[in-house]
Amino acid sequence: MNTHLQATTTLHNGVEIPRLGLGVFKVEEGSELVHAVKLAIEHGYRSIDTAVIYGNEAGVGQGIREGIEAAGLSREDIFVTSKVWNADQGYESTLASFEESLQRLGLAYLDLYLIHWPVAGKYKQTWRALEKLYKEGRVRAIGVSNFQISHLEDLLKDAEVKPMINQVEYHPRLTQKELKAYCDEQGIQFEAWSPLMQGQLLDNPTLQEIATQYGKSIAQIILRWDLQHGVVTIPKSTKEHRIVENADVFGFELTSEDMDKIDGLNQDQRVGPDPDNFDF
Give Dmax (Cα) for the chain. Answer: 53
Give the length of the chain. Answer: 280
Query: What residue numbers does the annotated binding site cover?
Result: 116
User: How many helices and strands in the chain, by DSSP H and E?
Assistant: 10, 10
Range list of β-strands (E), the chain:
8-10, 16-18, 22-23, 47-49, 79-84, 110-115, 139-145, 165-169, 189-193, 232-233
User: How many CB atoms sit inside 10 A of residue 192's CB?
Assistant: 25
What is the model's pLDDT at position 130? 98
Q: How far is residue 48's CA from residue 62's CA, in Å, rounded to a whole number?
A: 12
Tell me what pLDDT residue 91 has. 98
* Sign of the dihedral through C-alpha 24, 206, 2, 185: negative
Q: How far apart are CA 246 and CA 72, in angstroms?
A: 23
pLDDT at residue 3, as a whole number: 63
User: Which residue in the list 45, 54, 113, 134 is annotated as catalytic?
Assistant: 54
Domains of the chain: 8-263 (3.20.20.100)
The helix (run of H) or strand (run of E) holding residue 37 is: helix 31-42
Enumerate the known binding-site residues for substrate.
116
In the predicted model, residues of the chain with pLDDT beneath 50 are 1
Count CA atoms closer than 13 A to 125's CA, side-chain side.
Answer: 13
The answer to whether residues 80 and 48 touch, using CB atoms and an 8 Å cutoff, is yes
Strands (E), 90-225: 110-115, 139-145, 165-169, 189-193
**pTM assigned to the model:** 0.97
Q: Which helix (H) or strand (E) holds 151?
A: helix 149-158
At 26 the pLDDT is: 85
Burial of 26 (0-12, 13-18, 19+ CB in 10 A): exposed
Measured between alpha carbons, how far is residue 227 from residues 1, 137, 167, 174, 247 in Å?
A: 10, 29, 14, 16, 12
pLDDT in tens, 191-238: 999 999 999 999 999 999 999 999 999 999 999 999 999 999 999 999
Beta-carbon neighbour count of residue 163 at 10 Å?
Answer: 27
**3 state DSSP class of 66:** helix
Q: What is the DSSP letter of 20?
A: B
**Does the active-site annotation cover 54?**
yes
- What is the Cα–Cα distance from 83 to 102, expressed in whole angstroms? 11
